Amino acid sequence: MTAAEPKVTVDLARGLGLTADEYDHIIRRLGREPRYTELGLFSALWSEHCAYKHSKTFLHRLPQHGPHVLQGPGENAGALDIGDGWAVVFKIESHNHPSFIEPFQGAATGVGGILRDIFTMGARPIALLDSLRFGDPADPRTRRLVEGVVSGISWYGNCFGCPTVGGEMAFAPEYAGNPLVNVMCVGLVRTDRIFRARAERVGSAVFYVGNKTGRDGIHGATMASAAFDEHAEERRPTVQVGDPFTEKLLLEACLEAMAAGAVAGIQDMGAAGLACCTSEMPARSGTGMDVELARVPQREPGMTPYEILLSESQERMLLVAAPGREDDVRRIFAKWDLDAVEIGRVTAGPDLVIRLNGEPVACVPVPALAEAPRYEPPFAPPRGLGELHAFDPLSLPAPADYDDALVGLLGSPTIARKEWAYRQYDQQVGINTLVRPGSDAAVLRVKGTRRAIAVTTDGNGRHVVLDPRRGGALAVCEAARNVACAGARPLGVTDCLNFGSPERPEVLWQFAEAVEGIAAACRALGLPVVGGNVSFYNETSGQAILPTPVVGVVGLLEDAAQHATQWFKGEGHRIALLGPGEVSLGGSEYLWARHGRLAGRLARQDLEVERRVQAAVQAAVGAGLVTAAHDCAEGGLAVALAECCVSGPARVGAEASVGAAPRADHALFGEGPSRVVVAVEPGRVREFEALMAESAIPWGWIGGTGGERLRLNVGGVAVVDVALDRIEQAWRNGLERHLA
Amino acid sequence: MRFGVVVFPGTWSDCDFHYVISEVLHQPVKYVWHRDRELADFDCLVLPGGFSYGDYLRAGAVAGRSPVVEALPAFVAGGGVVLGSCNGFQILCEAGLLPGALMRNECLQYRCQSTHLLVENAETVFTRATRPGQVLAMPISHGEGKYHVDAETLAALRRRNQIVFRYCTPEGQVTRAANPNGSLDNIAGVVNEEGTVLGLMPHPERAAESALGGTDGLVIFHSLLGSLVEDGSFLKR
Amino acid sequence: MRFRVLVRLKRGILDVQGAAVQRSLAGLGFGDVRELRIGKLVEVDVDEATPAAARARVDEMCRRLLANPILEDYTIEEIEGERLAAREPVR
């Protein structure tokens, strides 16, 4: 090494993001002062991102077990058994901060990271979904972010060759300084071919595979530290740059090496790069590792051990070879023009030994790195919540013209059709996509079987800020309901929990409550949470985002042919509304889009009714009794019906009536849980009614399809009567109009 | 009919073509690695979609100079036929096996959407099972699909009937609105002078099963198989 | 020997990227931009005995891969005594 290392002090540790207490903790654990490189290892492994210091205690509340679970949290991704020898592997992850700094590359590398998490499990990725949140599109900075993020996702996913089949995009001013980019990936693997991030057998060769290591993504805190400045000849950008082509080669090489039996364990070099892999893999297996950094393929000259260990260069993996199969690893990666270099060995442990040209630069017990301190700081509800709850939305004036109110809502950026984004995404590569973006859930077939899976993501920050517990539960319920509307049985959950700083008591309270809500809903619906991600510190100058848990659900259809979509298929079908009647304008999209208010109370929720409604919809779709099924979400019943009319290949009109209500806007635009609109052909009405009776859920007929208009009556009074053409114009062009 | 599906680093429609040829059409099919030059085992080679070599320099540029592509003229001269879709079309143009070039879409964005194709030439081995003026529905998925040739070559293409498909409305009108990428003259697919190499931007393999939204893409394969059965016209070996 | 290859769309071929950037600049108050073209810059370091041989080699690279003769033309410039990597980026 050329330049002298900075002297290790408590101040340096602080500069790297550790607290004084944590620094003392490290000294006690090692029985000495850490060396500079060792401090770097601790700073990375004990960061919130890697160690879940503030969230672990709460996350244990989430149910993680169930009959289908093949792999729960703690690996690269979770896995569920879907029958016929197949497993579905899936996970959602955030890339919020990088996307704000550089929207195109930030979003692109977010896609790259989650793809690697899936194929390190041995699964071939078959679908991507993106859950995005942005500030007000009237702000030109927001428009630039939207364009950058969407084109970054498009570029990486399309070039790699995995279809993007779903997700959401919502807008609220609270996200202006902290957009959310959450990406979910779903893959398929034979149940007996799942790979794990382990380093089991002592003596096994450890390979570095993929792209070379540069200075990208080295922790920003490092760059800012004064001690480091003196020796840094040139500042490097910390933005990581994605290479989807190399990722595609890495996918093929990994799957080929796995199929050949040459791989014993494998992990993606994601956050904290090589430092993370070399400590987490042995930590899971109770072993150690001895690694030579001089062998790591490097893109830039003069990198220090610290930089090599903490680099977040993309498209790299750490692979433990099966005994005696080292040459096969080299041969297969060479075939795909990729580096595969043996950089060390698995040892009996407990130490992780890092060397440079044979000289140890770090020697740390693996368990010390893996066992970061946990924090349970105080938490308390934010002040002012009572006032928000006390607000009565009906104190605001009712719309003078309900046609205009509905059309305005349909054209609002959050509700308007998202084709502008998803036409930039390949939705079909792999030829599995039976239902493309634009319905409640995407449906993909499982080739070689009669089965299909349905996938979706959901999350509503406005609901969560008003009532984190109920909001968290609603996110799970709505995602599962979307999957049920496609005809699938929800099987499992992955969650991405986006919050502000956990060091603020009110944020931690929101987090704790939301996790309780998610856990309660998952227990009620029998859904295990098999993986996910926590993203804290989403705030700028003290302004936190709306607390936004995003929930991804995977469901199973035994018969791929028996799936449903949300749009009406023809005239003369009867329309039913399933689920309870109670709705609220509190926290609704209508209240925000029309009145700019975020206040009120959410409608009550009965998780047992939710479960029964989902089972009823799924049974009705499975029996072929309904021609359309659509969840009532943002914008309430009126928006759901309008979408049923115009989101399909051909427009179909409808007329519907609901009973007397406090006010028509409450009835039409109010939001409530467990509500689904379905359409039934006249010949199947009897059977449908019998099934509903058996399901023991609240439900009723509300109208029928036909004509060229949408007509809505409340308490016997005609309130809305709009031509479909007007509805379609507003809804189809709304997003582009806002982004123009 | 013996099909080969060519795999370049970065190809991703290879598995889809393989699946359609073997599971839908029940024809023998093998993958062909980009370094292979030995093509005697095949009657038809498919160059599938994807981002060969990341398309980092230009779409199809590097793959257009690969060993398997260098072996294509001899393969075609010996009676073989070649079908290039999406990136495959870009590669064939870059290699000079088809006239013209494919540029960035006029909207500057990637486009994945359904398109309609007007059959301009129903006489090729790839379109014999169609009739002139027939409209086929097939999706596109590309960022660089805007076809370009100079005026002289365009005139020659028209004269020799080398333009096979043009983007059109569902009713068969060739309009600007039906053109998804700004292609010259709405051109979606062309053949070489001999009619033995077809390149098109749309994805016939994604329109091969009704469950996935249509089967119009199969007509290209049925034409090929029919040509083989009827007179073996392109099988001179 | 180091060369800088500039690959641009031929005159007469619509440069959609260039047109879009020109429009954006006009929106920022740069309405006086008369023409704007976007191209690709390729920097090559070749090991040849003479400058003429090196230039010929680069020219061959352009013809065979770096430029598409249907769409693009190119210029080759020799970079004298300047280390490519050491150039200070503007900004």
Nearest CA to A374 among A74, A16, A19, A55? A55
The verdict on residue B70 lying in a domain is yes
Contact A296, A343 (CB under 8 A): yes
CB contacts under 8 A, B 37-56 vs A, are 49-51, 53-56
Compute φ and ψ for B20, nearest 5 degrees.
Answer: -65, -45
Residue of B nearest to A428 (CA): B206
The verdict on residue B137 lying in a domain is yes
Give me the number of domains chain B comprises. 1
- Per the model's pLDDT, the better-predicted residue between A188 and A544 turns out to be A188
Which helix (H) or strand (E) segment holds residue A583: the answer is: none
CATH code where residue B27 lies: 3.40.50.880
Q: Which of A54, A68, A95, A630 is catalytic?
A: A95
Q: What token pair was written down for A740?
A: 């123009």
Residue contact B65–C65, C-beta within 8 A = yes
Contacts of C25 (CB under 8 A, 6+ apart): C33, C36
CATH code where residue C60 lies: 3.30.1280.10
The verdict on residue B32 lying in a domain is yes
The predicted model gives A639-662 an average pLDDT of 95
The verdict on residue C88 lying in a domain is no
The verdict on residue C85 lying in a domain is no
Whether A666 sits among the annotated catalytic residues: the reply is no
Which range is least confidently modeled, A75-89, A318-332, C75-89?
Answer: C75-89
Looking up tokens 């010929």, which residue turns up?
A: C56
Which of helix, strand or coil describes residue A165? strand
Q: What token pair was written down for A471?
A: 């909001």
Contact A125, A115 (CB under 8 A): yes
The verdict on residue C90 lying in a domain is no
Q: For residue C48, give the DSSP letter.
A: -
The predicted model gives A667-691 an average pLDDT of 97
The verdict on residue B54 lying in a domain is yes
Contact B59, B147 (CB under 8 A): no
pLDDT at A510 over 60: yes
Contact A643, A566 (CB under 8 A): yes
CB proximity B106 to C under 8 Å: yes
Count the alpha carbons within 13 Å of B151 in the hemisphere toward its beta carbon.
2
Contact B195, B80 (CB under 8 A): no
The verdict on residue C89 lying in a domain is no
**Contacts of C among chains (3+ CB pairs under 8 A):** B
Q: What is the DSSP string of A135-160?
A: S-TTSHHHHHHHHHHHHHHHHHHHHH
pLDDT digits (tens, 9 = 90+) for B21-65: 999 999 999 999 999 999 999 999 999 999 999 998 899 999 999
Q: Which of A111, A248, A428 to mutate to test the interface with B (most CBs of B within 10 A)?
A: A428
pLDDT at B187 over 60: yes
Q: Which residues pair with A352 in a beta bridge?
A: A289, A364
Contacts of B30 (CB under 8 A, 6+ apart): B2, B3, B4, B5, B41, B42
Split at pLDDT 50, 70, 90, the class of A229 is very low
Compute φ and ψ for A262, nearest 5 degrees.
Answer: -90, -5
Rounded Cα gap, residues A316 and A313, in angstroms: 7
Residue of A nearest to B54 (CA): A245
Residue of B nearest to C68 (CA): B94
Contact A709, A721 (CB under 8 A): yes
Q: Measure CA of the first residue to CA of the last residue in chain C; give whole Å.
A: 28
The verdict on residue B97 lying in a domain is yes
Q: Which of B148, B149, B152 to mutate to test the interface with C (most CBs of C within 10 A)?
A: B148
Give the pLDDT of residue A226: 30
Compute φ and ψ for A194, nearest 5 degrees.
Answer: -80, 130
Residues of chain B with Cβ-Cβ distance to A428 below 8 Å are 112, 139, 141, 203, 206, 212
Give the pLDDT of residue C85: 47
Contact A627, A716 (CB under 8 A): no
Determine if residue A438 is left, alpha or beta; phi over 0 gives left, psi from -120 to 50 gives alpha, anything else beta: left
Give the pLDDT of residue A153: 97
Give the pLDDT of residue C87: 47
Rounded Cα gap, residues B66 and C17, in angstroms: 29
The verdict on residue B233 lying in a domain is no
Q: Which of B112, B205, B206 to mutate to test the interface with A (most CBs of A within 10 A)?
A: B112
Q: Measure CA of the first residue to CA of the last residue in chain A; give whole Å.
A: 53
Rounded Cα gap, residues A451 and A88, in angstroms: 12
Percentage of chain A with pLDDT > 70? 97
Q: Which of B44, B86, B93, B168 is catalytic?
A: B86
C17-30 burial code (b ≥16 CB/10 A, e <16): ebeeebeeeeeeee
The verdict on residue C84 lying in a domain is no
- Per the model's pLDDT, the better-predicted residue between C28 and A320 turns out to be A320
The verdict on residue C86 lying in a domain is no
Give me the number of domains chain C comprises. 1
Give the pLDDT of residue A156: 96
pLDDT digits (tens, 9 = 90+) for A58-69: 999 999 999 999
ipTM higher than threshold 0.90? yes
The verdict on residue C91 lying in a domain is no
Q: Which domain does B22 fall in, by range?
A: 3-226
Mean pLDDT score of chain A: 93
The verdict on residue B214 lying in a domain is yes
Contacts of A700 (CB under 8 A, 6+ apart): A576, A577
Give the pLDDT of residue A238: 65
Nearest CA to A157 among B16, B237, B110? B110
Q: Which of A37-46, A97-106, A469-478, A532-541 has the highest mean pLDDT?
A: A469-478
CB proximity B37 to C under 8 Å: no
